[in-house]
Amino acid sequence: MKFDEVREHFPIFKKLDAEKVVYLDNASTTQKPYEVINAVMDFYENHCSNVHRGVYRLGEEATEMFNHSRENIGKFIGAKDREIVFLRNTTEALNLLAYSLGSRLKEGDEIILSNSEHHSNIVPWQMLKERKKVRLKFINSRHDQPITPEDLSPLISGNTKIVSLTECSNILGNINDIKPISKIAHDAGAVMIVDGAQSVPHMPVNVKEMDCDFLAFSGHKMLGPSGIGCLYGKEESLEDLPPFMGGGEMIRTVTKENFTCEDIPIKFEAGTPNIEGAIGFSAAIDFLRNLGMSNVRNHEKDLISYTLKKEEESNIRDLISYGTRNIEKRAGIYAFNIGEIPKFDKENIISENISVKVHAIHPHDLSSLADKTYGVELRSGHHCAMPMTEDLGVSATTRASYYVYNTREDVEKLFDAISASIKRFGF
């Protein structure tokens, strides 16, 4: 499949193109192709049954489709099917790790995160900190540089037990090279966890090559349905991990006194799983494999480098953008501001002059105008990355994020909308 044919596979673009709407919030969630929609419908229409239970035909069909999905998704990241746990999303996967790995930690043990993490890779560890009195340390990286092994090394100590980092920042688009980071973590005897929510959908990812112990990602950010995501864990790491939730499915035996667990990965899948979600996710994987992940990465590299070029050419007064300008290390995410939007400190809230003190448009105003007037759908706010937003010295940013169906024309519309919005605000 070629990139100029991609849009035809997405029913929503018939409507959006007719309404002249440009969807640029793909880091949040992506649109779904017919292939995914049809796979989910086919399950409901022809194979609907629970899995791993009934020995009747429908039950066997559903189980086979579910198992195939696991195998297919595993292969996509270089993992065995035993190493793929189906969960709701990245957030649930990281919570599982904070709970299960965390149950083995003791007071004073250290976990290293970074200031560019999504809240889902911060809050579960903060909750663990409350339970276990562990210590959280943060790599405070600059917005215009990915995290390097040199950023991690000084934070490592004899107490480091976990390093948990994103492979790609959802606010900056910076891509962190995990392999050398993982080596440092492992040399220190720590577990390496990778948040792959923004990397697995956008670039070739191979868990064996990056040598992480765990990797979390979500189906809905890569053309699949919502409510289905995966935790990859090295076979031996998953074997060693205590279960997260108890209930049906995850057990082998239950007595009035006790229970024994199923083998991995089912040990972590209590209750009826999102069967149709897994099947739809697998169809999304087929779609992306058909495009080729190196091609997906190159397509997005082209869009972000075109964005940075348009930014330079457009010469928009007070446009500030964030993230590395090294295209090799930059995903298709573009966060920016028109003027510095001050943080919400008391002084600014009570200042009567705030609007004249700064030559700025608040991201909520900008994205609202860009949508209502120019049909360009952008995200505004902290993007669930408040620590980085804080470190940028602002309260919010506006973000455009691309995927396989976006085009250079979409980038042009983005800049037309920014320029026109600024004029509307009278700047």
Catalytic center residues:
384
- Kindly state the helix (H) or strand (E) to which residue 377 belongs, with its residue range: strand 376-377
Task: Sort strands 379-381 and 397-401 into parallel, antiparallel or unpaired.
Answer: antiparallel
CB-wise, 122 or 422, nearer to ligand PLP?
Answer: 122
Instruction: Provide CB contacts within 8 A for 235, sequence distance 6+.
Output: 80, 82, 83, 264
- Closest approach, Cβ 142 to ligand PLP, in A, equals 18
Looking at residues 99 to 128 of the shown chain, list those that interact with ligand PLP (rule: CB under 6 A). Answer: 118, 120
Q: Confirm or reject binding of residue 40 to ligand PLP (CB under 6 A).
A: no
- Closest approach, Cβ 169 to ligand PLP, in A, equals 7
First to last CA, the chain: 44
Task: Sort strands 319-321 and 379-381 into parallel, antiparallel or unpaired.
Answer: unpaired
- Site for ligand PLP (CB under 6 A): which residue of 63, 90, 176, 367? 90
* Alpha-helical runs (H) found in 101-204: 123-132, 149-152, 178-187
Q: Confirm or reject binding of residue 380 to ligand PLP (CB under 6 A).
A: no
Q: Cis before residue 180, ω within 30 degrees of 0?
A: no
Stretch that binds ligand PLP, among 138-146, 195-203, 280-288, 406-414 (CB under 6 A): 195-203
Stretch that binds ligand PLP, among 18-26, 146-154, 177-185, 192-200 (CB under 6 A): 192-200
- Closest approach, Cβ 345 to ligand PLP, in A, equals 27
The one-letter code for the residue type at 318 is D
- Closest approach, Cβ 365 to ligand PLP, in A, equals 23
Task: Sort strands 84-87 and 22-23 into parallel, antiparallel or unpaired.
Answer: unpaired
Q: Confirm or reject binding of residue 215 to ligand PLP (CB under 6 A).
A: no
Looking at residues 223 to 252 of the shown chain, list those that interact with ligand PLP (rule: CB under 6 A). Answer: 229
Task: Sort strands 251-254 and 259-261 into parallel, antiparallel or unpaired.
Answer: antiparallel
Task: Report the residue closest to ligand PLP, judged by CB.
Answer: 170
Structure tokens at 132: 């276990």
CB-wise, 282 or 421, nearer to ligand PLP?
Answer: 282
Bridge partners of 233, per DSSP, are: 214
Q: Confirm or reject binding of residue 198 to ligand PLP (CB under 6 A).
A: yes
* Alpha-helical runs (H) found in 23-122: 34-42, 57-76, 90-100
Stretch that binds ligand PLP, among 84-92, 98-106, 143-151, 283-291 (CB under 6 A): 84-92
- Closest approach, Cβ 400 to ligand PLP, in A, equals 14
Q: Confirm or reject binding of residue 141 to ligand PLP (CB under 6 A).
A: no
The one-letter code for the residue type at 131 is R
Of the candidates 303, 340, 316, the one whose C-alpha atom is nearest the C-alpha of residue 415 is 316
Structure tokens at 247: 């209930």
- Site for ligand PLP (CB under 6 A): which residue of 63, 72, 170, 406? 170
Q: What are phi and psi of 381, to 5 degrees?
A: 130, -150
Rounded to whole angstroms, the Cα distance separating 364 from 258 reads 53
* Alpha-helical runs (H) found in 161-292: 178-187, 207-210, 235-240, 275-291
- Closest approach, Cβ 229 to ligand PLP, in A, equals 6
Stretch that binds ligand PLP, among 86-94, 175-183, 255-263, 364-372 (CB under 6 A): 86-94
Under DSSP, the state recorded for 424 is H
- Closest approach, Cβ 357 to ligand PLP, in A, equals 32
- Site for ligand PLP (CB under 6 A): which residue of 197, 279, 404, 417? 197
- Closest approach, Cβ 200 to ligand PLP, in A, equals 10
- Site for ligand PLP (CB under 6 A): which residue of 26, 30, 69, 89? 89
CB-wise, 122 or 241, nearer to ligand PLP?
Answer: 122
CA distances to 40, 58, 110, 126 from 122, in Å: 33, 42, 13, 6
Of the candidates 193, 160, 189, the one whose C-alpha atom is nearest the C-alpha of residue 178 is 193
91: helix, strand or coil: helix
Q: Confirm or reject binding of residue 389 to ligand PLP (CB under 6 A).
A: no
Q: Confirm or reject binding of residue 218 to ligand PLP (CB under 6 A).
A: yes
Q: Confirm or reject binding of residue 27 to ligand PLP (CB under 6 A).
A: yes
Rounded to whole angstroms, the Cα distance separating 215 from 188 reads 19
Q: Confirm or reject binding of residue 300 to ligand PLP (CB under 6 A).
A: no
- Site for ligand PLP (CB under 6 A): which residue of 30, 141, 166, 307? 166
Stretch that binds ligand PLP, among 61-69, 194-202, 359-367, 393-401 (CB under 6 A): 194-202
Question: Which stretches of the chain bind ligand PLP, using CB under 6 A?
Answer: 27-28, 89-91, 118, 120, 166, 170, 195, 197-198, 218, 229, 384
